[in-house]
Amino acid sequence: MSNQEYPHSGQPNGFPVPPPAAAAPRRPAVLDVVTWAWGLVAVLMCVGIFGAPGGTASDYAIALVFALALAALIGFGCWKLRSGANGWRVFFTILSIIFAATFPFELIDPSRTLLQKTFGSLISALAVAGLVFSWLPASNHYFQDAANYRRAVKAQQYAEFIRNNPPPESVRRKMYPNQPPQPPMPPPGPPNQNQPPNHG
């Protein structure tokens, strides 16, 4: 641990303050394509329910509630995806694989209508497109920059908290055990006689 890291009296409350975090990274256009693709998936899922034949009113209601809940989850995930949340990119990747894996079985299912198969084809195509665009180099750079930016903001917030709420000396010694004790702050003395009086 270097002396530069050790808190000293030349800094506010004896603790260093990191430089301000850089500006938030700019979202690439390919990620907008991903969110629009998944937004269309959510719409098609809700609309495609009414293409199922022979269902009762209660069946349609249950299916619609499930589709709306999933659509709300997708909408929330798209919002987090635009802010660079990599966990939601993994979620959409898994969802895309599920849609792509079940699509062939929907095509050969004789109980499904042509309209249902059409909606299924569109949903699978949009999900695969979202999967591809979300892992392009531009998207990878954005998610990495967004993670670095969030870490920098958290570090700055923590440093400001420590600066405004300094721990006692015993805690400081535990944080920096290999450094000499912090010199005490000199008491305020009389004003320098060589300085002109301040009449402001």
Residue 196 confidence (pLDDT) above 70: no
Instruction: Kindly report the number of other CB atoms within 10 A of residue 34's CB atom.
Output: 25
Q: How many CA atoms lie within 13 A of 184 on its CB side?
A: 3
Q: What is the mean pLDDT of residues 97-101?
A: 92
* Stated pTM of the model: 0.68
Given a contact cutoff of 8 angstroms between Cβ atoms, the answer to whether 21 and 156 are in contact is yes
pLDDT value, residue 33: 94
Query: For the chain, what is the total number of helices (H) and then of strands (E)?
Result: 6, 0
pLDDT value, residue 160: 81
Q: What is the mean pLDDT of residues 162-191?
A: 65
Higher-confidence position of 153 and 78: 78
Q: What does pLDDT average to over the chain?
A: 79
pLDDT value, residue 127: 94
Q: pLDDT tier at 166 (50, 70, 90 boundaries)?
A: confident
Given a contact cutoff of 8 angstroms between Cβ atoms, the answer to whether 29 and 136 are in contact is no
Residue 86 confidence (pLDDT) above 50: yes
Domain spans in the chain, listed from the N-terminal domain onward: 29-143
Residue 161 confidence (pLDDT) above 60: yes
